[in-house]
């Protein structure tokens, strides 16, 4: 294990990152074991706890700890020069996705789990949208299971004719479909001024989401792109993740309803 003192002495320069990326790490099962910690500062559990055990370095060495404590935010994958999906190494058995259309309509809201299904039913009723539920997504982002490719393909084949819109960042990330807030014209105007949280899994869609929020009536005076709702929430921040709701945090969906 790399000590915290040693880690602090490492300067993660562009040269170091480039050298790491050129090593023959694709030939090994887990390149994270050979990394000095390029992604550490992006890991929410590490920055919150300060513990190397609760970081990609720790999770790479203890799969059970990865299943239980890693929040599967994908930040380490984004930061990694190899984009190695460490989170998919925690479990050997892939998860099979399946989709069920509960209400016909276009566009089609795509939910996962009970919380999202209940929220989706309310939004679908209010705005005249369709609704589908996909099973298996929660296992991917709660346990770190890789997706079974064939089931992903079959699920997308079933949903695509209905203009699917993900109700959560997890569904958008897993299926590679638009997030519901990327279609602001489908919803009514809201009123909010203050700090807005950018979901970990949607960081690559930052600019588009900010424009969509502005069209909805959200004035983001500050953007939180560093924290994760699975680690902590702030009562003054507006969240775009349905899973923030049970933690008594304010979400955009409450405003839309």
Predicted confidence (pLDDT) per residue in 48-91, tens digit = 999 999 999 999 999 999 999 999 999 999 999 889 999 999 99
Whether residue 32 has pLDDT greater than 90: no
The encoded tokens of residue 2 equal 């790399």
Final residue before a domain boundary, out of 89, 120, 147: 89
Residues 6+ apart with CB under 8 A from 49: none
Whether residue 189 has pLDDT greater than 50: yes
Which residue, chain included where needed, has tokens 């479909």? Answer: 177
Nearest alpha carbon to residue 51 among 30, 65, 31, 64: 65
**Average confidence score pLDDT of the chain:** 89
Considering the domain architecture, whether residues 115 and 157 belong to the same structural domain is answered as: yes
Q: In whole angstroms, how far apart are CA 23 and each of 34, 49, 103, 159, 211?
A: 10, 30, 50, 40, 40
Which residue, chain included where needed, has tokens 């923030």? Answer: 244
The answer to whether 44 and 227 have CB atoms below 8 angstroms apart is: yes
Q: pLDDT, tens digit, for every residue of 127-144? A: 999 999 999 999 999 999
Considering the domain architecture, whether residues 43 and 112 belong to the same structural domain is answered as: no
Final residue before a domain boundary, out of 181, 212, 245: 181
The better pLDDT of the pair 35, 211 is held by 211
What total of structural domains would you count in the chain?
3
Q: pLDDT, tens digit, for every residue of 1-25? A: 344 444 443 455 566 555 555 655 5
145 C-beta neighbours (distance < 10 Å), count:
22
Q: In this predicted structure, what is the pLDDT of residue 24?
A: 55
Considering the domain architecture, whether residues 217 and 235 belong to the same structural domain is answered as: yes
Give the model's confidence band at 145: pLDDT under 50 very low, under 70 low, under 90 confident, else very high. Answer: very high
Considering the domain architecture, whether residues 66 and 111 belong to the same structural domain is answered as: no
Whether residue 180 has pLDDT greater than 90: yes
Q: pLDDT, tens digit, for every residue of 149-160? A: 999 999 999 999
Whether residue 37 has pLDDT greater than 90: no
- Residue 240: DSSP 8-state: -
Final residue before a domain boundary, out of 26, 61, 89: 89
- Number of H-type helices and E-type strands within the chain: 12, 8
Q: In this predicted structure, what is the pLDDT of residue 115?
A: 87
Cα gap 52→59, rounded to integer Å: 9
b (16+ CB within 10 A) / e for 57-69: bbbbeebeebbeb
Give the pLDDT mean for 102-121: 94
The better pLDDT of the pair 38, 161 is held by 161
Considering the domain architecture, whether residues 166 and 145 belong to the same structural domain is answered as: yes
Considering the domain architecture, whether residues 201 and 147 belong to the same structural domain is answered as: no
Considering the domain architecture, whether residues 171 and 192 belong to the same structural domain is answered as: no
Considering the domain architecture, whether residues 242 and 208 belong to the same structural domain is answered as: yes
Whether residue 186 has pLDDT greater than 90: yes
Work out the percent of the chain whose per-residue pLDDT is above 70.
89
- Residue 147: DSSP 8-state: B
Considering the domain architecture, whether residues 193 and 177 belong to the same structural domain is answered as: no
Q: In this predicted structure, what is the pLDDT of residue 59?
A: 94
Considering the domain architecture, whether residues 213 and 154 belong to the same structural domain is answered as: no
Considering the domain architecture, whether residues 53 and 70 belong to the same structural domain is answered as: yes
Residue 156: domain span: 98-181
Considering the domain architecture, whether residues 109 and 47 belong to the same structural domain is answered as: no
Long-range contacts of 147-155 (CB under 8 A, 24+ apart): 147/94, 147/95, 147/97, 147/174, 148/94, 148/95, 148/96, 148/97, 151/96, 151/97, 151/98, 152/97, 154/97, 155/97, 155/98, 155/99
The answer to whether 97 and 155 have CB atoms below 8 angstroms apart is: yes
């Amino acid at each position: 294990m790399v000590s915290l003192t040693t880690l602090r002495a490492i300067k993660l320069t562009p040269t170091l990152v480039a050298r790491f990326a050129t090593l023959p790490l694709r030939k090994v099962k887990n390149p994270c074991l050979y990394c000095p910690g390029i992604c550490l500062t992006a890991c929410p559990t590490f920055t919150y706890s300060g513990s190397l055990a609760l970081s990609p370095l720790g999770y790479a060495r203890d799969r059970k700890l990865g299943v239980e404590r890693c929040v599967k935010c994908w930040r380490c994958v984004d930061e990694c020069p190899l984009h190695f999906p460490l989170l998919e190494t925690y479990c050997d058995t892939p998860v099979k996705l399946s989709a069920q259309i509960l209400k016909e309509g276009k566009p089609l809201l795509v939910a996962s789990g009970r919380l999202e299904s209940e929220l989706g039913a309310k939004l679908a009723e209010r705005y005249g949208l369709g609704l589908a539920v996909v099973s298996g997504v929660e296992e991917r982002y709660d346990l770190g299971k890789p997706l079974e490719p064939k089931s992903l393909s079959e699920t997308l084949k079933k949903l695509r004719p209905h203009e699917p819109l993900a109700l959560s960042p997890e569904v958008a990330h897993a299926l590679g479909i638009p997030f519901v807030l990327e279609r602001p014209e489908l919803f009514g105007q809201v009123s909010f001024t203050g700090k807005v949280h950018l979901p970990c899994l949607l960081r690559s869609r930052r600019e588009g989401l900010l424009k969509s929020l502005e069209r909805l009536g959200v004035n983001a005076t500050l953007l939180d792109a560093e924290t994760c709702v699975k680690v902590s929430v702030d009562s003054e921040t507006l969240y775009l993740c349905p899973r923030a709701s049970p933690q008594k945090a304010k979400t955009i969906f409450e405003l839309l309803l």
